[in-house]
Amino acid sequence: MTEKGPQDGSRQRIDKWLFFARMVKSRSLAQSLIAAGAVTVNGETCSQPSRMIKPGDRIELILERRDIVLIVRAGGARRGPFEEARLLYEDLTPSPDERKRLTPFERAQRGLGAGGADDDHR
């Protein structure tokens, strides 16, 4: 049985797209990430792996070591090599210099205006 890929402009399940775009190693890991509330689509937390996405959607992923911001460019037909997967999205992730290197736990513990790098000089 072969799986047909989406045609340009069509919708695709987010768990499949994350797998085809090589953001996760398996669809079950994509489903776990979604269940944990670590995926947002167009600013809304995605709670269902069956959520349909389309070109132009903004996807944000909170991963263990980094956060990723992507714009969907196309649906995938298979999990191919990186060069092929890279065509499915535009990466808008800020560079490490543009964002603070804090873990999600550290971000949750810090309040607004809790200081910056200069606070270490006490």
pLDDT in tens, 44-58: 999 999 999 999 999
Contact 9, 54 (CB under 8 A): yes
User: For the chain, what percent of residues have pLDDT higher than 90?
Assistant: 64
How far is CA 27 from each of CA 49, 58, 97, rounded to the nearest angstrom?
9, 19, 31
Any idea what the CATH number is for the domain that residue 70 is in?
Answer: 3.10.290.10
106 falls within a domain = no
In a domain, 110, yes or no: no
Residue 65 domain-assigned?
yes
| pTM exceeding the 0.75 threshold for the entire prediction | no
User: pLDDT digits over 6-25, tens only?
Assistant: 455 589 999 999 999 999 99
* 105 within domain boundaries: no
Split into its structural domains, the chain has a count of: 1
